[in-house]
C-alpha cells in the first residue's frame, strides 16, 4: 500500500507542470496572434479612413436632396464692381413692367448690386399684383444666398429690404466672408475641415459666364455644407469601431490606431479593430486552472480514499486476528476441559460450568460475526413489542453482568406503541449496547436500560457509569472495526452494527458522554419505518 502514497504526489506534480505549460502556451499563442495581427490592423485602420473619405465624397455628390443630418447651402458672390457702360438705362428710369421682369433676375448690376434687389427697391410699395408676389420672393432669395452680393453691401441691402433682424443674415455674411478670405477650389473639388463642435464643413466655388447686350463676365457662387462626424461614420459603416479624435491624443488602449482621414483638415479617427479576445483568453485560462484544481482535488480524494482503504484493510486484518485469537481461546479451553473430564480427573460440576461459560463466549463471538455478514441485508419487518424486546435483551445480558458484579436495571415507560421492526436485528443492537456497558463499564457498577415513546419515535437507551468516551473518539467509534482507548477485548464492530441497524430502520443513534461521566447510548427508531409501511399487508 506504499505505491499509491508515492504515485498520487507524482501525479499531482505532473498535473501542475502540465497546467503551467498549457497556460504559458495559451498566453504565447495569444501574443503571437496579436503580433501577427498588427500589420492587418494597420491596413484595417487605413482602409477605415479611406472608407470615411469615400462616404464624404458620396455625400457631396448626392447633395440634392441632402442626406439626413446634412445641411447644404450656397451664396452667390457678386462680381467686381465696374463702371456702367454708356447708354445703359438707369433702373429708376425703366418702366414698371421692365422692373417687374427684373425682380426674378439672378444677375448683378454693373456696380455689383443684385439686380433683383435693385428692381424690387425701384418698384417700391405700389408694385403690380404679380410683381408683389415676385418681390416677396426677393427677400427669401437674398437671405438664402441665391442673389450675387458683396459682403460690405449686406447691411444696407438688408435694411432696405426690411430683413436686418433675420438670423439667416449672419449665416450669409459668414459664407461670403469665407468665400473672399481664402482661395476656394472649384467644384467638384471641396476644401473640408473639422470644427471644434465635431462637425465637418465643406467649401467650394462654382462659376458661370453671364453674357449681356454689350458685356460678358464670370459670376461666382460659394457652395458649403455641414454635417456631424457621427453621421459620416454611420454612412461609412464604421461607427462601431471608429471615433473622431484630435491629433494630439495619446495613450491608446490595446491595438487601437489613430489615422488621418485624407483631404479633411483636422479629422483623425481612433480605430479599434477586431483583435484576439482577452476575455476568451482569460476564460480558457480559468477553465484550465479550474480543471487542474479539480484534478488536484480528485487526486487528494483518491489519496484519502486509498489511505482509508488501507486503514480498513488493516482493521479487517486486526479483526480477523482478534477473532482468530478469541476463537482459539474458548476452543482451547473447551478442549482441555473435555480431555480432563474424559480422563476422569477434575470436578465435573466445576469443569462443566467452565465449559458452559466458554461456550457462551464462543456463541457470542460467532453471533457477532454472523450479524456482521448480514448487516447490509434488507430488514425483515414484523410486529414487535418494544418492552418485551428490551426485557429479553436484559435477561440475556444479566448473567454476564453478574460475573462482573454489575447490576442491570430495566425501566419501561408505558404505554409503548406497537412497532414494525426487524426484531432480531434490533435485539442484537440493544444487546451490543448492554455488552459494551458491561465490558467497558466500571466493575461492580450500575447499568440502566430503558424504553420510552416520544411522538412517533421509540427511544431504546442504555447507560452506564463507566469512564466515558473522550471527545476525540466520539466521531469514529461507530466506524467499522474502530475501537476506543480500552484494554478490554473486542472486535470493533459492536457500535458499527448498532448504527447500521438504526439507519436501516430510518433512525439514528445518539450519544451523551464525557470523560469520567459514563456513557448513554440511545437508539431512536420510528415506530413504523417507511419501508415497513410499504411492506405491511393491506
Asked if residue 76 is part of any domain, the answer here is: no
Q: What is the pLDDT of residue 64?
A: 60
CB within 8 Å of 101: residues ≥ 6 apart: none
CA-based nearest residue to 495, from 429, 423, 409, 446: 429
Distance in angstroms (rounded) separating the CA atoms of residues 66 and 73 = 10
Output the pLDDT for position 481.
56
SS3 labels along 494-512: HHHHHHHHHHHCCCEEEEE
Going from the first residue of the chain to its last (538 residues), give the mean pLDDT of each consecutive group of 10, the final group possibly shorter. Answer: 60 78 75 69 82 84 70 71 55 76 77 81 62 63 79 83 84 76 75 83 70 53 80 85 71 69 84 62 74 79 77 66 64 76 76 74 67 60 90 86 86 86 88 85 87 91 84 69 54 75 88 82 89 62
The reply to whether 146 falls in a domain is no
Q: Residue 120 to residues 98, 111, 127, 291: CA-CA distances in angstroms? A: 11, 16, 9, 89
Cis ω before 415 (30° cut-off from 0): yes
Q: How far apart are the first and last CA of the chain?
A: 54
Residue 113 within any structural domain of the chain: no
CATH number at residue 440: 3.30.565.10
pLDDT score of 86: 44
The structural domain count of the chain equals 1
Rg of the chain (C-alpha set): 56
Q: What is the pLDDT of residue 57?
A: 83
- Model pLDDT for residues 2-24, shown as the tens digit of each residue: 445 567 677 777 777 887 877 77
Number of H helices and number of E strands within the chain?
14, 15
pTM exceeds 0.95 for this model? no
What number of other Cβ atoms are within 10 A of residue 133's Cβ?
Answer: 11
Q: Strand 419-421 vs strand 382-384: parallel, antiparallel, or unpaired?
A: antiparallel
Q: Is residue 492 part of a domain?
A: yes
User: Is 502 part of any domain?
Assistant: yes
Q: Starting from the edge strand earliest in sequence, which strands make up the sheet with 268-271, in order?
A: 242-245, 268-271, 257-260
* Coil, helix or strand at residue 126: coil
Range of the domain at 407: 378-535
How far is residue 535 CA from its own chain's centroid? 49
Looking at the domain assignment, is residue 523 inside a domain?
Answer: yes
Domain membership flag for residue 74: no
Is residue 520 a part of any domain in this protein?
Answer: yes
Sign, CA torsion 287/293/297/300: positive
Amino acid at each position: 500500500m506504499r505505491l499509491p502514497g508515492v504515485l498520487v504526489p507524482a501525479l499531482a506534480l505532473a498535473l501542475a507542470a502540465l497546467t503551467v505549460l498549457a497556460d504559458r502556451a495559451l498566453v504565447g499563442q495569444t501574443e503571437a496572434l496579436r503580433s501577427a495581427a498588427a500589420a492587418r490592423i494597420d491596413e484595417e485602420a487605413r482602409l477605415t479612413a479611406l472608407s470615411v473619405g469615400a462616404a464624404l465624397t458620396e455625400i457631396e455628390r448626392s447633395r440634392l436632396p441632402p442626406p439626413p443630418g446634412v445641411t447644404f447651402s450656397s451664396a452667390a458672390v457678386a462680381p467686381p464692381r465696374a463702371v456702367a457702360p454708356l447708354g445703359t438705362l438707369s433702373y429708376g428710369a425703366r418702366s414698371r413692367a421692365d422692373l417687374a421682369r427684373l425682380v426674378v433676375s439672378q444677375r448683378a448690376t454693373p456696380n455689383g448690386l443684385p439686380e433683383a434687389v435693385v428692381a424690387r427697391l425701384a418698384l417700391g410699395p405700389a408694385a403690380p399684383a404679380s410683381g408683389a408676389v415676385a418681390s416677396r420672393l426677393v427677400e427669401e432669395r437674398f437671405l438664402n444666398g441665391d442673389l450675387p452680393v458683396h459682403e460690405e453691401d449686406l447691411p444696407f441691402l438688408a435694411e432696405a429690404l426690411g430683413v436686418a433682424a433675420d438670423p439667416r443674415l449672419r449665416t450669409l455674411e459668414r459664407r461670403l466672408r469665407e468665400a473672399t478670405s481664402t482661395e476656394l477650389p472649384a467644384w467638384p473639388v471641396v476644401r473640408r475641415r473639422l470644427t471644434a463642435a465635431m462637425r465637418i464643413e465643406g467649401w467650394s466655388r462654382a462659376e458661370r459666364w453671364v453674357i449681356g447686350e454689350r458685356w460678358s463676365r464670370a459670376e461666382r457662387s460659394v457652395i458649403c455644407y455641414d454635417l456631424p462626424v457621427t453621421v459620416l461614420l454611420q454612412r461609412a459603416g464604421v461607427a462601431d469601431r471608429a471615433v473622431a479624435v484630435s491629433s494630439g491624443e495619446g495613450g491608446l488602449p490595446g491595438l487601437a490606431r489613430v489615422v488621418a482621414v485624407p483631404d479633411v483638415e483636422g479629422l483623425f479617427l481612433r480605430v479599434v479593430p477586431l483583435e484576439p479576445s482577452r476575455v476568451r483568453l482569460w476564460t480558457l485560462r480559468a477553465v484550465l486552472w479550474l480543471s487542474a484544481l479539480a484534478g488536484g482535488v480528485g487526486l487528494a480524494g483518491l489519496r484519502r480514499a486509498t489511505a482509508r482503504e488501507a486503514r480498513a484493510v488493516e482493521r479487517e486484518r486486526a479483526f480477523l486476528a482478534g477473532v482468530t485469537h478469541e476463537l482459539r481461546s474458548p476452543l482451547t479451553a473447551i478442549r482441555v476441559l473435555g480431555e480432563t473430564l474424559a480422563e476422569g480427573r477434575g470436578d465435573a460440576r466445576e469443569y462443566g460450568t467452565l465449559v458452559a461459560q466458554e461456550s457462551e463466549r464462543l456463541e457470542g463471538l460467532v453471533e457477532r460475526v454472523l450479524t456482521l455478514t448480514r448487516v447490509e441485508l434488507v430488514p425483515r419487518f414484523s410486529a414487535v413489542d418494544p418492552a418485551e424486546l428490551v426485557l429479553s435483551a436484559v435477561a440475556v445480558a444479566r448473567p454476564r453482568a453478574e460475573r462482573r458484579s454489575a447490576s442491570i436495571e430495566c425501566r419501561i415507560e408505558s404505554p409503548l406503541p406497537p412497532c414494525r421492526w426487524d426484531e432480531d436485528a434490533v435485539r442484537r443492537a440493544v444487546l451490543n449496547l448492554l455488552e459494551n456497558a458491561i465490558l467497558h463499564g466500571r466493575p461492580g457498577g450500575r447499568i440502566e436500560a430503558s424504553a420510552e415513546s416520544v411522538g412517533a419515535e421509540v427511544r431504546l437507551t442504555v447507560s452506564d457509569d463507566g469512564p466515558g468516551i473522550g471527545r476525540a473518539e466520539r466521531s469514529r467509534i461507530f466506524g467499522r472495526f474502530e475501537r476506543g482507548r480500552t484494554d478490554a477485548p473486542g472486535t470493533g464492530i459492536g457500535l458499527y452494527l448498532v448504527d447500521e441497524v438504526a439507519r436501516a430502520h430510518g433512525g439514528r443513534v445518539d450519544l451523551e458522554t464525557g470523560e469520567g461521566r459514563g456513557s448513554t447510548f440511545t437508539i431512536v427508531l420510528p415506530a413504523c419505518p417507511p419501508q415497513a409501511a410499504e411492506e405491511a399487508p393491506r
